Structures are given as structure tokens and as C-alpha cells.
Amino acid sequence: MTGTAPSLSTGNTAPLLRFETQLLQRSADIEAWFRSQWHKTAPPFYCSVDLRNAGFKLAPVDTNLFPGGFNNLNPEFESLCVQAIQSAVERVCPDAKSLLLVPENHTRNKFYLENVATLFDLIQKAGFHVRIGSVIPDLREPTDLTLEISGRTLHLEPLQRTGNRVHLADFDPCVVLLNNDLSAGIPPILDGVEQQVLPPQALGWHARLKSHHFGFYREVARDFGEVAGIDSWLVDPLFRNCGQINFLKREGEECLVSNVELLLEDIKAKYKQYDIKEEPFVIVKADAGTYGMGVMTVKSVDDVREMNRKARTHMASAKEGRDVTGAIIQEGVYTFETWGPEHHTAEPVVYMIDRFVVGGFYRVNEKRGNQENLNSPGMSFKPLAFESCCSHPDRTLAPDALPNRSYAYGIVARLALLAAAREVAASRMLAKAA
Amino acid sequence: MTGTAPSLSTGNTAPLLRFETQLLQRSADIEAWFRSQWHKTAPPFYCSVDLRNAGFKLAPVDTNLFPGGFNNLNPEFESLCVQAIQSAVERVCPDAKSLLLVPENHTRNKFYLENVATLFDLIQKAGFHVRIGSVIPDLREPTDLTLEISGRTLHLEPLQRTGNRVHLADFDPCVVLLNNDLSAGIPPILDGVEQQVLPPQALGWHARLKSHHFGFYREVARDFGEVAGIDSWLVDPLFRNCGQINFLKREGEECLVSNVELLLEDIKAKYKQYDIKEEPFVIVKADAGTYGMGVMTVKSVDDVREMNRKARTHMASAKEGRDVTGAIIQEGVYTFETWGPEHHTAEPVVYMIDRFVVGGFYRVNEKRGNQENLNSPGMSFKPLAFESCCSHPDRTLAPDALPNRSYAYGIVARLALLAAAREVAASRMLAKAA
């Protein structure tokens, strides 16, 4: 197999084919439902969703409100991104002329810097004055970075604040676009800013919990199941969560053990219902986002009880050194998509701007198995841009033909987008009430 | 020259290059201005604009609110059309689930039928239930047409009406999309319908006057000239109009002669200002739209005085047999774009859905000269799809590089779109006042 897209290497793809067929038949109703949902709850500015395709199940495993990786998208869909950015900005600030982009601080990640340059370019092409405001603490003056991969130049300027407005020396933007996930908390310079900040600071990973997101996702998947006429489990990873865990001190271990046990039983029941022969497994992750750190694959309660010191240290580590204080135990979804003659595991990542799917790419990993997390520290993946933009089906082709499989990816990714939209709305309501 | 896009074959391209440079430099301000305009006046559902590029001047010569030719667009930009249709429907009817497409009656035009099939497909891909309601008087029952070119099938159903709603046998749409320019007037079945009809029936060619459109365009071009820092003449064809002309009876000839004379003088003054050596000319057209019929190229008042019987009959003919009752005398814009080794004249046509440019094509004509109308009866043009979608510039390239020239086309086409938007708004106000 050296085709232009990954292939599914599993026997039991019948449920997925039924699912894809159903999506095609009901696409107008599904799209009408999505439209009605966006009227109730505005979509976030942008979002990327990691999916896993087990053949019998297609589900999101991570929803990123501050997506990097725009440089990995197919350049053919650039105009689609441009058009979607125009819609996104118009939704939040119809009069916006200028936009300030606040990226992550890690200027040594050459891939991430390409993402910033691509995002900058897209916003400029969408017709906005755009500049980059950095929150790197020791950045004292404007600095040009020449990018190692593309040779493009990034002009970073230190973010300044006057009263409740952030700005650059001679640039007072209407909108602040965060591409910084605020893992280390909201920097004081961005706290209580009067400009529109997108996505809202409160959704940074310092505060956001995966269990909140997947709680909203569960509701969304149920509603969608009714509209699409499918069992929502086909798109929804089961989960449970534990509030207080300290892996190093072995505090909260019993909560983890009992939840792992209950969740494995629930998955077994579902596997039995659909005659799935694979072995169920769960993923234990830090509930607060961690850039893929602190993730463990578990097949039995013994895996938890027998964690060694090294595994405990791994689970306790999180981005920028925060302790893990809560854990989410999530149904593991096999990745049965593989790429190339050596069947490397491939995981789709779908990108959305506003309510529009604008493409995506596969993370192709040469070293990881089909039960493991492909977005881990030190992980080297090869991005493989989608050929299709995932936004619409092609009825002249089979339900599992590439554009239609991509459309299914786009639908499931938008379910996660809708869950994120409800998360944002809930956080705004909380902020108002506070 | 056998490149992939037409080339400009004229000496005096300096004004255009200055213009293109200016557009690149001011694009963020221009886009902000467009956004502010769309908030004041909603764009029509869709629109195509015929442009002519004289090198020293780039101007619209025809703005079609019921565009055919979607089949001529680059399939690469399909997803852009889909996304734009979603925005367009959402703007007028957020809850719309179903859409009725009403095409022209001429089922023998194999090119037009391809357009209907492409439009149908795009609307379906945008996530709507769509069916085709025909107003062909003798269509008694649903009929399948197999298309000669693509082999696709069109399912035409006779439009029905109950009370103030139009529908098909078992299909009650929220929105009616006209792809029928109503040259013969509003069919009774569509008159006073309670559903949203897009574009509004009142903008059909039975009622629409080119002089109204270009009157609005003149205002738009002036405003744009200030924002872009250019002389609006560079994008605005001068015009005058005569109210009552009967070419066969030679009534109104003096009005025509004097206006041709005044207009030629105005053009000469502009040519002198910009050191343009070409000979000025004007186009005399029926003020009511005519599918390219009744169009005459005039270089002096003598051309009008010496019209022979045949020319008079030609001018008096109009689509579906209506008499010409008014005429517009418009500054002729040379087409200095040519295609291929034989330098065939090429005229760009830009397509828009909602406020988004979604591509276009060149009309390449083997028989017509650079002062003639390329959209004439019996005219055979070869469509040449744009490689670029025209929606955004590329700052890494020269101002006259293909994506940037296309961006300039997209801007001028959107000026015409904005003029059409004001036309629609004015017609709605008139309807309310009536």
C-alpha cells in the first residue's frame, strides 16, 4: 500500500461503513442540525481535533482550542482558510481592522514557528492588519526570526499594556488571537484585557479540564446520534474521571483502580454488542491538558496497581512542570489506519476555523503501536496533508471513498468543535456569575 | 504565448501596475472598507461580473445577478463555493433546510444545463435538501434530462403553488433560489410568494436597468477611489443614458447622438490625462438586460447617424422579443488580454457567492476583436477556468503576478457586487413604499 491516503487495516469495518452510509443519506439533516447548533452556541475561533479510527468506531481523543500545525495543511485549501477567517472575525468583531497574534514562547521549535508564520500569512490574506505580540518575558525589543525550514521571517514584538488594552509600540488591535495555550496560567499582561481575546483566556490549559470537554461531548454525541440515527457510542469514547490523584505519593489510587475496572466492563459490553474481537483498553491522562505528557495505556487494573516508579514520575509530569491533580480515564480507541508499505500508524487531525472544516493532516508515526498516543513528547511524526478538505460529501462515490471518509472525519471533528463551543459558553457564564 | 493564463498585449500597462501595487499596499484597508460596506448593505446571493482589462483601465461591463456558467469554474475551488453558499443561506434564512432552485426554461442549451447541474451539486454539498422547480409552461410532470456533456441527470419538477407558497409535490422549501433572470417578466406563479426569493424577483431583467446599476457603481467607485488612493476612473466606465429610443422608427436619435458626442469628449480628456494613444469608443446597449443582444460599438456620432436598416433591427431586438425602450451609452473598455499563440481576445468573468469571490473564467473568443462584446448571440467562447480564486493577494510575488492580478479582478468584481447590493436594497425600499 503506497496510496495517497492511509488505509484501514482491520477486519471489522462493517460498523464504520454503515455509519458512513448513514451520514451520506442524512447529510442535509445533519448539516441543518449543525447550523441550528451554531445559532445557539457560537463556534470557537479555531480548533483542531485528534481523531482515532478503529474501523468499528471513529472518535475524537483530543480537542485543541489553540491549534498549532497550520503549516501541515494542504496549501490547496488556503483560500478556504482565508474565507473562514473572514467569517470568524466578522462573527466576533464586525468592525475589526487589526488583529494581534500571541504565539507560544518556545521559539526553538522550528515546526511551531512555521505554524505561526502560516497563521500570520492567512490572517493577512484575509484582509487584516496583523502583527505578532510576544509574551516572552525577556523579549525587550522587536526581533526578527528567520525560519529554518521555509526561510520566512517572523517579526516578534514585545506585547505592551496601557490600562486595560494590550498593544504594540504603534499598533492598537481590536482583536487578540491567542495561539498560546496558557499552560502556565494567564500572564498578568493578558489578564482582564478589554479587547476581545480569542479563544477566551479562561479556556487555557491552566484551567481547562478534559473531563469537562468530554462531558459536553457526550451530550453532543447523544443529540447527534438521534439526528443521524446511530448509536452515539460509535463516535463517543466512554470516560470516567478522578478528582485528586498524586501518582508519586500513590494518593487516589483506589479511585483510579475502581474507575478503570468499571470502564473496562462498559467497553467489554459494547465490544460484545458489536462482535468486536479486540482487547478493550483505557487511556489514563492528566485531566488538565499536558501536550501529550502524562498519558498511560491500561488494559487491566493490574496495570495501574503495578506502575513502577518511572511510570509514576511520567504520569506526575505535565507541561511546564505542573503536578497532575486530576485524571481522566478514557476508553481507548484503536488506530487501525496505517500508511505505507510498513504499515505505520496514522492518526487524523482535523482543523476547523469558525464553523468550517478547512482540512487536516495525518500524524504518521514510525515507532508507535495502534493503542498508543501519537502526540507524545519527543515524538517524531510525519505530517501527511489531507487531499480532501473534509467539508462535504461526494454522492457519486462509495460511502467509504476518500472524500466521504474525510466528510465523516469532518462531522466527528465538528461534534468536538460543538462540545468546545459549549465549554466556551459555560466558561463565559461562570465568569459573568463570578 | 501559450502560458496558463492570458497575457496583456498593450504598451501602456503602467497605470494598471501602479493600481495593482496600490491594491497590495492598501489591501487591509480595502478589505476593512468592504466589510463595513457589507454591514450596511447585504450582498446578493450570487453574482457574476464581466470585466475588461485595457492595461490602463480595469472595469466591469456587465453584472449578472442570475449567473450561469458555474460549470466553467475551476473544480479546485468547489469547497470555496460550498462554504460561501453556507454563509449566503445563513445570512438570509438561518433555519433553512431546503432550497428550491428555479432555472431558466431553455432546456436545449447544453452548456446552461451543465451550469444548473453544477449549482445543484454545490447546494447539496453545502448541506441542503435541494430540488429543481421548473417554470416551463408545458412541463406537466417530473422529467429527467440526461446531460449531453457530463452525462449527469437533472430531475426537473413542475413548480406548484398553494396560497402564497411555491412548492413541489412533496417538497415545501424555505428558500427559492432564482437562476432564471425573468427577462419575460415575473411568472404569475412566482409573484408575491411568501418564501424568501433570492435574488428578489424585482431584480429580474424584465425590470432591471443597466443605467441604475452603473449609477450605483459610480458611487461605489468614488468611495473606493478614496480608500484605495486612486482615480476612480481607472475602475469606472463612464456612461450616459437615453430614456426613450426606438431604433426602427429612429425616435430618440438626437438624444443618442448628443450623448455619444459628450461621452466621447469625456473619454478623450481622460485618455489625454493618462497619455493613452488608443482611439476612444463607446458601447451603445439596450438599458434593459438582453443577454448580449442589441449591442453596438461606436467611435463617432456618424456611426449612429449612418446606422443601416440591419443594424437598427439588431439594436431593436432583445431577449424574448422585447423592444428596446431605453439605451445606455457606456465608455468602451479595450480588452488587451489575449490567449494563445494566435492572440485570441480573452475577457475575465468573476464569480461571487455572498461576499466571497469564488473564482472565475476567461471567455476566449477566436472571432471577436478587442473592442467588441464577447457575450453575443451565437458567440462561441472557450471557457478557461481561473487558476487562482481571486480572493486574496500574495505579497511574496510581484504586483502583476497572476495571484495579484486575480486579486485585482476580485476587488473590481466586488465593487460591482456592492453596486448590485445597493440596487437590491433600493428595489426593496421601492417595493415597501409601493
Task: Give the model's pLDDT for residue B249.
Answer: 77
* Nearest residue of B to residue A80, measured between CA atoms: B80
User: Both ends of chain A: CA-CA distance in Å?
Assistant: 56
Question: What mean pLDDT value characterizes chain B?
Answer: 88
Is B49 at the interface with chain A, CB within 8 A? no
Looking at the DSSP bridge assignments, the partners of residue A285 are: A295, A328
Measured between alpha carbons, how far is residue B80 from residues A293, B73, B84 in Å? Answer: 37, 11, 6
B95–A28 C-beta distance less than 8 A: no
Per-residue pLDDT for A410 more than 60? yes
d(Cα B309, Cα A61) in Å, to the nearest integer? 77
Q: Is A174 helix (H, G, I), strand (E, B) or coil?
A: coil
> Is residue B375's pLDDT more than 60?
no
Which has the closest alpha carbon to A55: A393, A375, A370?
A: A370
pLDDT at B2 over 60: no
Percent of chain B scoring above 90 in pLDDT: 60
pLDDT tens digit sequence for A123-133: 999 999 999 99
Using 50, 70 and 90 to split pLDDT, how confident is the model at A378? very low
> A345, A365 in Cβ contact below 8 A?
yes
What does the pLDDT look like over B352-371, one tens digit per residue?
999 999 999 999 877 766 66
Rounded to the nearest integer, the mean pLDDT of chain A is: 88
* Domain A75-206: homologous superfamily in CATH: Glutamate-cysteine ligase, N-terminal domain (3.40.50.11280)
DSSP letter for B367, please: S
B31–A128 C-beta distance less than 8 A: yes
Query: DSSP secondary structure string, B326-349?
Result: -EEEEE-----EEETTTTEEEEEE
**Residues A253-283: pLDDT tens digits?**
888 899 999 999 999 999 999 999 999 999 9
> Do A381 and A363 meet the contact criterion of CB atoms below 8 Å apart?
yes
Kindly provide the residue ranges of all beta strands, DSSP E only, lying in B229-310, ordered along the sequence.
239-242, 282-286, 295-298
The rounded distance, in Å, linking the Cα atoms of A425 and B11 is 59
pLDDT in tens, A178-207: 999 998 889 999 999 999 999 998 888 888
Detail the DSSP E strand segments found in B302-397. Answer: 327-331, 337-339, 344-353, 356-365, 381-385
Collapsing DSSP to helix, strand or coil, A407 comes out as helix
Which range among A137-146, A255-264, A309-318 shows the weakest confidence by mean pLDDT? Answer: A309-318
What is the mean predicted confidence (pLDDT) over B92-116? 92
Note whether A128 contacts B: Cβ–Cβ < 8 A: yes
DSSP state, residue A4: S
Instruction: Please tell me whether residue A190 adopts helix, strand or coil conformation.
Output: helix
Distances (CA, A) of A64 to A115, A292, A421, B242: 14, 11, 12, 62
> What whole-number distance in Å separates Cα of residue A395 and Cα of residue A401?
10
- The chain A residue lying nearest B126, using CA atoms, is A392
The mean per-residue pLDDT over the stretch B313-319 comes to 64
Let me know: does B414 contact B355? Beta carbons within 8 Å: yes
Give DSSP secondary structure letters for B146-182: E-TTT--EEEEEE-EEETTEEEBTTB--SEEEEE---
- Helix H or strand E segment including A221: helix A210-228
**What length does chain A have?**
434
Check residue B422 and give its pLDDT.
Answer: 97
Test A79 with B77 for CB contact under 8 angstroms: yes
Distances (CA, A) of A41 to A260, A354, A422, A423, A426: 33, 12, 6, 10, 10
Q: Is B251 on the interface with A (CB under 8 A)?
A: no
- Tell me if B356 and A86 make a contact (CB, 8 A cut-off): yes
* Residue B4, pLDDT above cutoff 70: no
pLDDT higher than 90, residue B121: yes
Q: Are B34 and B413 in contact (CB under 8 A)?
A: no
Do residues A147 and A114 touch, judged by C-beta distance below 8 A?
A: yes
From A87, A97, A391, residue closest to B87, measured CB to CB: A87
Rg over CA atoms, chain A: 21
Of B124, B129, B389, the CB nearest to A79: B389
Query: Scanning every residue of chain A, which has its alpha carbon at the shortest distance from the alpha carbon of B130?
Result: A28
Q: Which of A35, A76, A83 shows the shortest C-beta gap to B94?
A: A35
A84 touches chain B (CB under 8 A): yes
Q: In angstroms, rounded to a whole number, what is the distance separating the alpha carbons of residues B226 and A371?
A: 61
Q: Is B395 on the interface with A (CB under 8 A)?
A: yes
DSSP assignment of B1-41 equals ---SS-EE--S--HHHHHHHHHHHHTHHHHHHHHHHHHHHS
pLDDT band at A342 (very low <50, low <70, confident <90, very high): confident
Contact between B421 and B44 under an 8 Å Cβ cutoff? The reply is yes
d(Cα A4, Cα A7) in Å, to the nearest integer?
A: 9
Nearest to A144 by CA among A117, A123, A118: A117
Residues of chain B found within 8 Å of residue A30, distances taken between Cβ atoms: 127
pLDDT at B373: 61
Q: Please tell me the predicted confidence (pLDDT) of residue B378.
A: 47
Q: How far is CA A14 from the centre of its chain?
A: 27
Helix, strand, coil share (%) of chain B residues, nearest 5: 35, 25, 40
Chain A residue at shortest CA distance from B89 = A35
Q: B36 and chain A: CB distance < 8 Å anywhere?
A: yes
**Three-state DSSP class for A415?**
helix
Q: Is A31 on the interface with B (CB under 8 A)?
A: yes
- The helix/strand count (H/E) of chain A reads as 9, 19
Distance from CA of A190 to the nearest CA of B (A): 26
The conformation of residue A277, written as its DSSP 8-state character, comes to -
Tell me which chain B residues have a C-beta less than 8 angstroms from the C-beta of A128. Answer: 28, 31-32
CB atoms within 10 A of CB B317: 18
With an 8 Å Cβ cutoff, is B31 touching chain A? yes
A97 touches chain B (CB under 8 A): yes
pLDDT tens column, A3-54: 467 777 666 778 888 888 999 999 999 999 999 999 999 999 999 999 999 9
Contact B31 A126 (CB under 8 A): yes
Contact A28 B128 (CB under 8 A): yes
- Give the per-residue pLDDT at B380: 63
A224: closest CA among A72, A424, A30, A423? A30
A395 interfacial to chain B (CB closer than 8 Å): yes
Cβ proximity of B297 and B371 under 8 Å: yes
Residues of chain A above pLDDT 90, percent: 59
Contact assignment for B28 to A77 by CB distance below 8 Å: no
Q: Which of A58, A46, A82, A35 is nearest to A405 (CA)?
A: A58
Cell representation of residue B179: 437562476
- Label residues B417-430 b or e (16+ Cβ within 10 Å = b): bbbbbbbbeebeee
Give the tens place of pLDDT for each residue, B214-228.
999 999 999 999 999
Q: Where in chain B is the domain with CATH 3.40.50.11280?
A: 75-206
Q: Is A27 on the interface with B (CB under 8 A)?
A: yes
Contact at CB, A28 and B395, closer than 8 angstroms: no
Point out the least confidently predicted range of A238-252, A257-271, B46-60. A238-252
3-state SS class at B263: helix
Do B135 and B180 meet the contact criterion of CB atoms below 8 Å apart?
yes
- Measured between beta carbons, the chain A residues lying within 8 angstroms of B79 are 77, 80, 389, 391-392
Strand A175-179 with A196-198, pairing: parallel
Structure-block grid coordinates of residue B335: 480588452
* CB pair distance less than 8 Å for A391 and B97: no
- Confidence class of residue A240 from pLDDT cuts 50, 70 and 90? very high
8 Å CB contact between A10 and A4: no
- Residue B83's CB is within 10 A of a number of other CB atoms, namely 30
Give pLDDT, residue A217: 98
User: Do you find a cis peptide bond into A199, omega within 30 degrees of 0?
Assistant: yes
Nearest CB to A90 within list B35, B127, B128: B35
Q: Whose CA is closest to A64, among A401, A350, A275, A323?
A: A350
Contact B150, B70 (CB under 8 A): no
pLDDT in tens, A82-98: 999 999 998 888 888 99
Residues 6 or more apart whose Cβ sits within 8 Å of residue B373: B61, B283, B292, B295, B297
Using a CB–CB cutoff of 8 Å, tell me whether B126 touches chain A: yes
How far does A397 lie from chain B, in Å, by closest CA?
A: 13
DSSP element (H, E) containing A75:
none
Q: Calculate how close chain B gets to A95, using CA atoms only, in Å.
A: 7
